[in-house]
Amino acid sequence: MAEFSERLISWFDRHGRKDLPWQERPTAYRVWISEIMLQQTQVATVIPYYLRFMEKFPTVAGLADSSMDDVLHAWSGLGYYARARNLHKASMIIRDVHGGEFPLDMEAVLELPGIGRSTAGAILALADQQRQPILDGNVKRVLARYHAVEGWPGSTAVAKILWAFAAAHSPHERIADYTQAIMDLGATLCTRTQPQCATCPLSDDCRAHSLGRETDYPGKRPKKTKPLKTTHMLLAHHEGALYLERRPLSGIWGGLWSLPEFSDVDAVMEWCEQTLNTTVLEVEHWDTLRHSFSHYDLDIKPVAVRLKSASRKVADTDQALWYTLATPPGIGLATPVKTLIDNLHTTGNT
């Protein structure tokens, strides 16, 4: 087992990534933010978001003292918004329970919202040199191929086997370098398609490689047909102001600001009169916009209506507002909502 980690660390010394933003001053807070952002998101996508986020929230206290709107605004476009909500919740716990210092005890870290075993292990290994195994997507792929572990890693039985290998391979020295190395290997050489086995430091002993079955591992997730859902989104605007509502904290786009939604477009006119206390002067039906989630696809049918007036009374709470297109406020918007707002602004129909 020691030879596995030694070869990986030796490879890392020559070829590993050492200039990622979170590798500079790798405090537990900085590593924590990066690990949450990197969940289901590529490094290249994360880097600009991470830099902006750390500039805005350089400390746990700064994050905890900020509003949810500020946090979601900084996260807008990165997706999987529960990550941002959990970051905010966890930062307040760290401020109030741990004296503003990210805890370095595994049990305490696992009690924080949004942090599972692998993320906790990565934070403690990278920031505190603790011998903690990790098992993110890249590591699952490396270990499943090296040991030819059959089955889908998302199943409990297969995950248990991979965790055992992850723990056994974790060295007692240079654990931070090893942790970064095995993640880097999966991200750069042992990729999902077209793995570069010829330059892999583990290929000599890799069972999948010896069998010529590299891409058979890890096993695929059982296929399910993604359902298609449909919604009508209302862009109700008046003289450069657009009506928005805050979404519930649970569910998709939780806590973000969004457009009113309807299952039946015929209900739009009546809703504008009863809820916004105004009449509709003009109606436009835009082309359908499809947005894909991990478990289903959503067809958004935009309906843009120009209103006779914009009553301030209906947007006088923290659940509704008139969004000024010329000077937009710093609030969190889901990607398709921002796309529709941008379209409304650029068409000049406001």
Phi/psi for 273 (5° steps) reads -70, -40
For residue 39, give the amino acid letter.
Q
For residues 76 and 87, what is the distance between their CA atoms, to the nearest angstrom?
Answer: 14
Given the residues 35, 55, 214, 245, the one annotated as active site: 35
Name residues whose C-beta falls within 8 Å of residue 20's C-beta, 6 or more positions apart in sequence. 34, 43, 47
Residue 102 near residue 124, CB atoms below 8 Å: no
H or E element that contains 258:
strand 257-258
Active site residue 35: yes
Phi/psi for 257 (5° steps) reads -90, 140
Which residue, 61, 6, 56, is CA-closest to 29? 61
Residue 26 near residue 126, CB atoms below 8 Å: yes
Residue 280 near residue 297, CB atoms below 8 Å: no
For residues 149 and 218, what is the distance between their CA atoms, to the nearest angstrom?
Answer: 7
Cis peptide before 218 (omega within 30 of 0): yes
Catalytic machinery residues: 35
